[in-house]
Structure 1
Amino acid sequence: MKSEAWMFVSCTVFFALATPAYWFVTAASEHGGDWTGTSALTMCTLLVLMISLYLGFHAKRMDPRPEDRQDGEIADGAGELGFFPPYSWWPLWTALTLSLSVFAVAMAAWWLLIIAAVVGFIALAGWNLEYYRGEFKH
């Protein structure tokens, strides 16, 4: 976990240096600066900083993983890695719900928004409850 934390810290330093440089270069242009790009880089810096702090905070409290130790072997990382869900069709229906919702708002077809809400409720319930029925039931 420490290697990931250092990777994000280096990205934070890069963005922290690139943001004022970008602002300075665009401020010297004839248009007087690009506030959209500067604010996007500032937010990117803050978001990468947040991830860096999170990973650094948890890296101190975790037991070192085999890849974090100098004496770690490949065999030390063997075993179960966790639960990985199988294929699922529910994200497709959730994406359809979002598409219908955006289309309904863009076309001011409020009746379609009601249909999208019903489809969305079914899709969200199905996605949350897919491990309680069917082939992958626990």
Structure 2
Amino acid sequence: MKAELWTIVGCFVFFVIIAPIYWVLTSDPTGSVALAMTALLCALVSFYLAVVSKQIPERPEDRKDAEIIDGAGELGFFPASSWWPLYSAASAAVVVLGIVFGWWLFIIGVGLGAMSVVGWVFEFYRGVHKH
């Protein structure tokens, strides 16, 4: 987490320096506030990464003397292809169209969205990919 932490801290320092310069040169309040909020967001992410880096054991990526073999092993679970994101996006489109054309279509879209989100959450509890 050390490399990620210092990358985001570098972004924070950059935005802290750039925001007042942008304000002086342009007097644009919208862009200046956006840059300041981006700096605050970088500070928030930096704080999170600093806290998490103290809680996890040292990773091979954080050591200067690490070898490639030190990072070998299982990296995590990566699911196979899934159709549920497509169904969720389609139901979100129906919800938006329901706002435009009528509440009856909105209600249908919410029902389809609930079914697609439940299907997406529980797709690894049944069928071929059951765990």
Question: Normalization by structure 1: what TM-score?
Answer: 0.88
Q: For 1:18-47, what per-residue CA distance to the aligned partner results, in whole angstroms no more than 9, with x for missing partners?
A: 1111122121xxxxxx22222222221111
Number of aligned pairs? 131
Q: Does 1:54 align with 2:48?
A: yes
Letter in 2 for 1:97: S
- 4+ residue stretches of structure 1 with deviation over 2 A? none
State how 1:13-24 maps to structure 2 within 5 Å.
13-24=13-24
Counterpart of 1:131?
124
Letter in 1 for 2:87: W
Letter in 1 for 2:65: D
| Superposition CA RMSD, Å | 1.3
Q: Percent of pairs identical after alignment?
A: 49
Counterpart of 1:8?
8
SS class of match (1:103)? helix
Runs of 5+ consecutive residues of structure 1 not aligned to the other structure: 28-33
Shift of 1:16: 1.0
Counterpart of 1:115?
108
Runs of 5+ consecutive residues of structure 2 not aligned to the other structure: none
* Structure 2 residue corresponding to 1:73, chosen from 67, 70, 84: 67
Letter in 2 for 1:5: L
Letter in 2 for 1:113: F
